[in-house]
Amino acid sequence: MTRIATLSMVAISLIFGMASAPVNFRAAAKDELRVCADPNNLPFSNKSREGFENRIAELVARDLNRPLTYVFAIQRDNFVKKTLNAGLCDLVIGLPVGFDQADLTRPYYQSEYAFVYRADRKLGLHSMRLVERDVETTARFLTSILGFSAAGVEDGWHRFLLPGTRSGRIVDIRAEPSMARGKWGTGSVHHLAWRVPDDATELAVRERVEAAHRRPTPVIDRFWFKSVYFLEPGGVLFELATDGPGFAIDEPVATLGEQLVLPPWLEPRRREIEAALPPLRTSRVPAGA
């Protein structure tokens, strides 16, 4: 198996209605705790209450000494508006940081996503698309700082390429001056991650980004790779991620993904983390199938 791109790291948070003051769980109503959740969205939630958000809801209800009930609704556009803000429930367990339609607690986890594919299938990402209010400032940044070259315009999409032939080196940008800024939510992409081969390359690119006044983060050690984050001029969050040390640093390549692997700083909490995760039921495909 091969991982080709880290696409999203979203901090998620609890909410407890709209209020002008900080949330006070103890001051909540004495009746049942009504939670709005998706009925079929594992590993987050489902009607059988097998998701980790279901488990969190149980812990909150127990702490409040209130019976737990659910209002199930598919989590799509206007989910909060049609459920929590319509008065159907008291609580939604998972919403992204920065969501402006409800009061949020502190984030309780962060997540990273990666596409995984079989090495012998030669699959990959063709391109990423950005919709921004202006193309020119981002175009200058891509070509002068990050090493892209302009490759033409088609149907309003401006294409930029990184050198080489591997996948994930194309980005298309379209200008939509009147479009509202994006908001975090189910199905959204938090940032784009660009591969760099090693630490030296990452530091060199970071130096150029800093010289362009884009305020990159320090190098962040993710154990399996090292990351640098910054906003490009159009407002999209970019990441530089090293290829190494790689996901095989702490488990054999042949069994990648078969067990829960944690970075060293979370290993002391393994029992707690495993207890909160729903069981995954998978079937193994026979070799050669």
CATH number of the domain within which 13 lies: 3.40.190
pLDDT at 11: 30
76 or 277: which leads in pLDDT: 277
Average pLDDT over residues 41-50: 88
Question: Does 237 share its domain with 255?
Answer: no
Q: Which of 240, 253, 286, 278 is nearest to 6 (CA)?
A: 240
Q: Report how far residue 25's alpha carbon sits from residue 40's, in angstroms, rounded to the nearest whole number.
A: 27
Last residue of a domain, one of 92, 114, 136: 114
Question: Does 130 share its domain with 236?
Answer: yes
pLDDT at 72: 94
Tell me: the pLDDT tens digits for 157-183?
999 999 988 888 999 999 998 887 776
Average pLDDT over residues 124-151: 93
> 10 Å Cβ neighbour count for 135?
20
**Strand ranges (DSSP E) for the chain?**
2-15, 33-37, 40-41, 45-46, 68-72, 91-96, 104-117, 128-132, 149-154, 157-161, 170-175, 192-196, 220-221, 226-231, 237-242
Tell me: the pLDDT tens digits for 103-132?
888 877 766 666 676 777 777 778 889 999
pLDDT at 187: 66
Q: SS3 for 273?
A: helix
The total of structural domains in the chain comes to 3
Does any domain span residue 286?
no
Question: Does 213 share its domain with 140?
Answer: yes
Question: Does 163 share its domain with 251?
Answer: no
pLDDT at 49: 92
Residue 186 has pLDDT above 70, yes or no: no
Does any domain span residue 120?
no
Average pLDDT over residues 182-209: 87
Cα 142 to its chain centre, rounded Å, is 23
Does any domain span residue 251?
yes
Average pLDDT over residues 185-199: 84
pTM, full prediction: 0.58
Q: Report how far residue 90's alpha carbon sits from residue 83's, in angstroms, rounded to the nearest whole number.
A: 9
CATH number for the domain harbouring residue 189: 3.10.180.10
Question: Can you give the residue range of the structural domain that contains 152?
Answer: 125-242
**Residue for token digits 């490009």?**
232
Question: Does 194 share its domain with 157?
Answer: yes
Last residue of a domain, one of 48, 79, 114: 114
The backbone torsions φ and ψ at residue 255, rounded to the nearest 5 degrees and listed phi first, read -120, 20
Question: Does 154 share its domain with 105?
Answer: no
